[in-house]
Amino acid sequence: MRVAITARSVALEVLNKVYLDDAYANLVMPTLLTQARLPERDSAFAQELAFSTIRWQLTYDLIIDQVSSRPVGEIEVGLLNGIRLGVHQLLQMRVPAHAAINETVNLIRASFGEKVVGFANGVLRRISEKTISEWIDLLEVKQATPTAKLAVRYSHPEWIVRALQQSLKSDGIEDSIEALLAVNNIPALVTLVALPGQSDREDFLLDGAERTPFSPYGFTIASGDPSAFDEIRLGEVRVQDEGSQIAALALALGRDIKSDEQWLDMCAGPGGKAAMLAAMARGSSVRFTANEIQPHRLELVSKALRPFPEVLLTGVDGRTIGDSHPNTFDRILLDAPCTGLGALRRRPEARWRKSAEDLKSLCELQYGLLESAYKALKPGGLLLYVTCSPHLSETTAVVSKAAKNMNLEVLDLSSMLNSEYFEGSLPNNRKTVQLYTQRDGTDCMFMALITK
C-alpha cells in the first residue's frame, strides 16, 4: 500500500532514516519537507513530532515496555518508530487521544501491513490511560539512584546526566541540573548571524527579529523558514547559535588585528565559524586558511565559504599541521571534535550516538590537535580551543594537561568576554569559559584562549 504523504509520514521517514541509516534529523528533515510540499503548519507539526520523539526515546521505550507483550528490543525498528510517534502525540502534544491513536494506527497499517495493527493499537490504547507525569512517576519508582531517576524523567542516558552534574558542580551551580536537562528537550529558537561587514542585523529587527543578548551580530526569529531571507541565499546571513558566534568573536579578542596576520581554522567543518572568521579576516586584510580532514565536511566548508574565494581551503590531518607549518599562524581556532553534549537541544539524536567509551579516543584526538595547533602558533599568537561540550574530560582536563606539558599560557578569556560582550554576567573565578544553555541561553560551549 502506498503511504500518503502527511506530516506524520514525513516524521516516520525521518525516524527511520535516523535509526536505520544513522542519518541526522536536522539534515534529512529539510529535504523531506521540500519534497513533501506540506503547508507551513503541517511542516512545523512534522518537525516537532520527529525531533521530540527522538529526544524522548529512552522514556518512551520504557513506557512501551510496561504495556507491550514483546520487549522493545524485539519490536521491528520501523514499527517501533511508528509507535513512538503515537506515544509522543498522546503524552506531549495537543492531539486528542482518539486522533493520535487512529492516525498512528492508519500510518502503521499503510507502512507495515494489517498484521501489526492490533498490536500497535493495543499498546497505544494502554499508554493513553495515563498522563506523562503518571508514567514517569511509575518508572522512577523502579530506578535505584537519583541519577537514574533524572535519566528517566528527562530522557538522557545516565552517563550524560552524570557528566552534566560534574560540570555544573565544578562551577558551583549543581542545583541547576534539572533546568539544564529540561532545556535540552525544548526546541531552540532559530538563531542567525549577520556576518560582520556583509550584512546588518538592524535591518531584520524591523521584521520582528530580536537581538541576541551577547553577540552584536546575532538575532533570533520565533518561527518561519530562515532560508526565505535573501541574505541567507547570498551567504550574508547564516544560521548559527549565539555560543558559536561568541567562539568565533573570541579569537579576535586579546589584541588588535594587524593586516599581515595569518589565521587558521584547524577543524573547520561544517563551516559556520569559518564563515564568520572569513568575514572578519576580509575586513582586516588577513590571510585565512580553513582546514577540514573529512571530505564531506570539507565540501560543506567550501559551500559555506563560497562568498569568500580568497580563503585557502585545505584537507589535511590537523595533527600534522604543527610539524608542516611550525610557528606560522597568528591566530588559530581549534573547534575540536567532541561528544556534542552542549547542543543536545539542536541535535536530537546526539544523546544516543555517543557513549562514555567514546571519550578516551576523543580526548586523545583533542589533545593531539591542541598540541599540533600550539606548534603551528607563532610566539605571541592566540589559540582558541573550543568544544561544544561541557564534559570536564573534553574541556578543562585537556587544557590542564596541555598547560602542564607545554610552555603555554591560558589567558583570562572570562574577563575579556565579560568586558566585551557579557557585561559581567560570566563567573569571574576562572580564566576559561563554560557557557550553559539554562543560564546563558546558548549551546554549552567551552572556550580557552591560549598564547605561546
Q: Note the pLDDT tens digit of each residue in 168-213.
A: 999 999 999 999 999 999 999 899 999 999 999 988 886 778 999 9
| CATH code of residue 220 | 3.30.70
Q: Flag whether 436 is in a domain.
A: yes
Could you give the CA distance from residue 386 to residue 71 in angstroms, rounded to a whole number?
41
**Same domain? 129 vs 199:** no
Q: Tens digits of per-residue pLDDT, 363-396?
A: 999 999 999 999 999 999 999 999 999 999 999 9
pLDDT digit string, tens, across residues 116-154: 999 999 999 999 999 999 999 999 999 999 999 999 999
Confidence of residue 407 (pLDDT cuts 50, 70, 90): confident
Question: Are 112 and 195 found together in one domain?
Answer: no
- Report in angstroms the alpha-carbon separations of 311 from 261, 264, 413: 13, 10, 27
pTM score of the predicted model:
0.95
Question: What pLDDT score does 324 carry?
Answer: 98
Residue 140 lies in a domain: no
Residue 384 backbone dihedrals phi, psi, to 5 degrees: -105, 115
Whether the Cβ atoms of residue 271 and residue 333 lie closer than 8 Å to each other: no
Q: Cα–Cα distance between 94 and 97 in angstroms, integer?
A: 9
Q: Which residue, 98, 133, 168, sits at the end of a domain? A: 133
2: pLDDT confidence band, cut at 50, 70 and 90?
A: low
Do 220 and 346 lie in a common domain?
no
Same domain, 113 and 21: yes
Strand partners, 361: none
Instruction: Check whether residue 287 and residue 322 sit in a common domain.
Output: yes
User: Which pLDDT value is given to residue 197?
Assistant: 92
Q: Which of 422, 448, 449, 446 is nearest to 341 (CA)?
A: 446
| 382 within domain boundaries | yes
Q: Are 413 and 253 in contact (CB under 8 A)?
A: yes
Is 367 within a domain?
yes
Q: Would you state the pLDDT for residue 225?
A: 72
Lowest-pLDDT choice from 73-77, 230-234, 300-304: 230-234
**Domain housing 281:** 240-451
Q: What is the pLDDT of residue 230?
A: 85
Condensed to tens digits (0 to 9), the pLDDT of residues 201-248 reads 988 886 778 999 999 999 998 776 787 778 888 999 999 999 999 999
Q: Do 206 and 274 lie in a common domain?
A: no
> Is 231 found in the same domain as 329?
no
User: Looking at the structure, do residues 95 and 15 belong to the same domain, yes or no?
Assistant: yes
Residue 280 sits in the same domain as residue 333: yes
238: exposed, middle or buried (C-beta count within 10 Å: 0-12, 13-18, 19+)? buried
What stretches of 37-96 show up as alpha helix (H) in DSSP? Answer: 40-55, 57-67, 77-92
For residue range 309-359, list pLDDT tens digits in order.
Answer: 999 999 999 999 999 999 999 999 999 999 999 999 999 999 999 999 999
323 falls within a domain: yes
The domain tally of the chain equals: 3
Q: Which residues contact 160 (CB under 8 A, 6 or more apart)?
A: 341, 344, 351
Task: Give 414-440 pLDDT, tens digit per residue.
Answer: 999 999 999 999 998 999 999 999 999
Residue 149 lies in a domain: no
DSSP 86-121: HHHHHHHSS--HHHHHHHHHHHHHHHH-GGGHHHHH
Would 139 be classed as within a structural domain?
A: no
Assess whether pLDDT exceeds 60 at residue 1.
no
Q: Same structural domain for residues 127 and 267?
A: no
What are the percentages of helix, strand and coil residues in the chain, rounded to 5? 55, 10, 35
Edge-to-edge order in the sheet of strand 190-194 = 210-211, 218-221, 190-194, 237-239
Q: Which of 267, 338, 363, 388 is catalytic?
A: 388
Residue 228 included in any domain: yes
CATH assignment at residue 111: 1.10.940.10
> What is the distance between the alpha carbons of residues 259 and 269, in angstroms, rounded to a whole number?
25
Contacts of 398 (CB under 8 A, 6+ apart): 336, 363, 366, 367, 370, 385
pLDDT score for 224 = 67
d(CA 403, CA 397): 10
Per-residue pLDDT band at 165 (split at 50, 70, 90): very high
227 and 256 assigned to the same domain = no
The answer to whether residue 388 is catalytic is: yes
